A and B are shown apart, each in its own frame.
Chain A
């Protein structure tokens, strides 16, 4: 076993691909719908299902974070709140879905809340929500990706997906993030 392994170049020794590879959307849709099904069989409520999907998204997001920062930002992370949000809206969305997210908004009434809005979410394109689960939004998976990227960049936050103007991702930062960003601004 060990000598077999040593013949192989380790994955980090190989050059990083440019990430332009594409795959048939049906393949992704089939995989994703089976994942939703799998999760659904192991939970009993919609919120549980959404948090399960979000966990799976987290797994993807934390890896995507490394990949995009290495590939597009020369390893430099964003330190400003607005910049990390713009980074997600443009770079992350482009790498994952081939286009920018439609909108980024700041809540009027709450400083720590932001919204990323997407009219048609890729992951929802092939999902028909059953009537008895009206509130279910499978874009919780994407919310998990966004959360991983924020948490992984040291902007601890909770991200949830909601049916509003298409799909709205609600980002609630921890208060410490807002306080830190303000102190950065004053300098």
Chain B
């Protein structure tokens, strides 16, 4: 009966449970440090933003270039293409899920990513006194940071979250403007 947790060891993969629980430890620490849900949401967004942007110009851009090279895609021609790359390449490569791209605004500058599974939120139940917490808000920051590294300013926010009792998890992404400068704006 004793099952060994014997995963075939691909050196480019790591246990999803380790990842999920590690993220949980970070959120718990932020709640200890900041107490207010909306402040925790802000901090998670900020930390996610740092994933790709602001590691100094070089690293952010290198990560994105590496990603583009590995997934064999070039520059996106329009926002619709960008949305598809985020969902079908970005999310799949980094989180192993492919959210659905939908709910386009008439102007084509705003879309939703719908996820039915969220590896960040396995084992998670939000206590009643944290009903304002966007547990996976780090994803907003990651998307924002990644797009900023390709000179695109966007606004990203959670609209629905299964953890809050919604039927699905929905992230809304809105295009703001193209950034002129080759250097990403932000903290140094």
A contact set with B: CB distance below 8 Å: 1, 4-5, 7-8, 10-11, 17-28, 30-32, 34-35, 37-38, 42, 55-57, 59-60, 63-64, 67-68, 71-74, 91, 94-99, 122
Contact = CB atoms under 8 A, between A and B. Distances in A.
Given A20-B7, A34-B50, A74 B19 contact: no
10 contacts: A24-B14, A28-B19, A31-B19, A31-B26, A60-B21, A68-B5, A74-B1, A95-B15, A95-B18, A97-B15
Given A67-B17, A98-B13, 14 more contacts: A19-B5, A19-B17, A24-B93, A24-B94, A25-B11, A27-B19, A59-B29, A60-B24, A64-B17, A68-B5, A73-B2, A94-B5, A97-B15, A122-B14
A62 to B, nearest CB: 9
Interface stretch (B102-110, B117-125, B147-155, B171-179): B117-125
B24 A24 contact: no
Contacts of A122: 14
Interface string B33-55: 10000000000000100110000
Contacts of A63: 21, 24, 123
Interface in B1-32: 1-7, 9-19, 21-26, 28-29
B165 interface: yes
Interface of B: 1-7, 9-19, 21-26, 28-29, 33, 47, 50-51, 93-96, 119, 122-125, 128, 131, 164-166
Contacts of A96: 15, 17-18
Q: Is the interface of A mostly helix, strand, loop or mixed?
A: helix
Contact of A23 (B19, B29, B47, B123): B19
Contacts of A23: 13-16, 19, 94-96, 119
Nearest to B52: A30
Nearest to B97: A23
Nearest to A62: B21
A27 B15 contact: no
8 cross-chain pairs, A with B, having the tightest CB-CB distances, nearest first? A4-B165, A21-B16, A59-B25, A22-B13, A95-B5, A98-B9, A60-B21, A56-B25
Nearest to A30: B51
B56 to A, nearest CB: 13
Most A-side CB within 10 Å, residue of B26, B28, B124: B26
